[in-house]
Each structure stands twice: as structure tokens, then as C-alpha cells.
Amino acid sequence: MRSRVVSITDLRTHLSAHLARVRSGEEIVVRDQLAPIAKIVPLPRMEGPPDEVDLATEGKVRLPQKMLAASFWRSSGPRVDTDRALEILREERDGR
């Protein structure tokens, strides 16, 4: 990936141009004097329902990278004793 090094002053002055470069795939390394302090990188392209993409953009969920195998949906879930499950639910409800 291409990378460009800019000063804080240059970033401030030419922010729109630098963001256009990031949109096109370039990384921007920001330096203070000679020390690198930050990197601006393009976000991965997200596809999916708009509400899920919004949540992923906010960092609240991660979108799947691949589909689950069909066998996942055929597998049975964990077996939990009904009496034990009710006991746990009652304990949570009563705040124990």
C-alpha cells in the first residue's frame, strides 16, 4: 500500500486533498516534527444492509467475512436441563 508522510501543518492546510488520497487507497502518516504520531488509512469497503453497515462503521458490530457453512444451521444447540434453566432465570430476575 502506498504511503505519504505529511506534517500536522500540511495535513491541516490540505486536509481535503489528503482525504481524497486516502479514499483512493493511499495511507497518510502524520508526523510532529520528525516523529510519526498517527496514520490515516482507508477503511475496508463494507457491503450489506445499510443499518448493519452503519453499526459496523460505528464499531458496534463486525460484519461477517464469509458465509457460515450450511451444516452450522443443521447442528443442534446445547442441551440444557429445563429445571436448571428456569432456576437460572429466576435467580437473574430476583437479582441473586
Give the integer Cα–Cα distance in Å for 37 and 30: 6
Give the chain's domains with CATH numbers: 3-57 (3.40.1620.10)
Q: Is the pLDDT of residue 96 over 70?
A: no
Longest distance between any two alpha carbons in the chain, whole Å: 67
Q: What is the pLDDT of residue 21?
A: 95
Cα torsion for 9, 14, 17, 21, to the nearest 10°? Answer: 0
Percent of the chain whose pLDDT exceeds 90: 51
Please report which confidence band the pLDDT of residue 27 belongs to, taking 50, 70 and 90 as the band edges.
very high
Ramachandran category for residue 53: left, alpha or beta (phi over 0 → left; psi -120 to 50 → alpha): alpha
Q: Is the distance from CB of 6 to CB of 31 less than 8 angstroms?
A: yes
List, for residues 3-22, the tens digit of each pLDDT value: 899 999 999 999 999 999 99
